[in-house]
Amino acid sequence: MTRRVIKGVLKTWKEDRGFGFIKPEDGGKDIFIHISALKAVSRRPTTGDVIYYQIARDNRGKYKAINARIEGVSQVEDKAVELQKLSISKKITIATALILIVIVVIFIFIYQR
């Protein structure tokens, strides 16, 4: 794998198959890209997008894009990752608040009868 980030333009994209090819900015052969290389992007790629990526070899020895992102498209974090980032004290605070809300709702329901 190369650690260097390379810039290119998405030359082709087959939405139904989830892959395409990037034309590197500095020339050279087109690079295969699979949708799985574009983790946490807020939209699917389209032809003409500027892509930043790294290169690795697949199990057949061919080059492919990895760790890719689309220029100007925001990254979205997985909800599980966001929850892991919360500290334990924040999780306890949130749980306590939810329990209190449930208790208040129950008392209001009982009181109105």
Specify the pLDDT at position 79: 56
Question: Which stretches of the chain score pLDDT less than 70?
Answer: 1-2, 76-87
Can you spell out the DSSP letters for the chain?
---S-EEEEEEEEETTTTEEEEEETT-SS-EEEEGGGSTTBSS---TT-EEEEEEEE-TTS-EEEEEEEETT--B---HHHHHHHS-HHHHHHHHHHHHHHHHHHHHHHHHT-
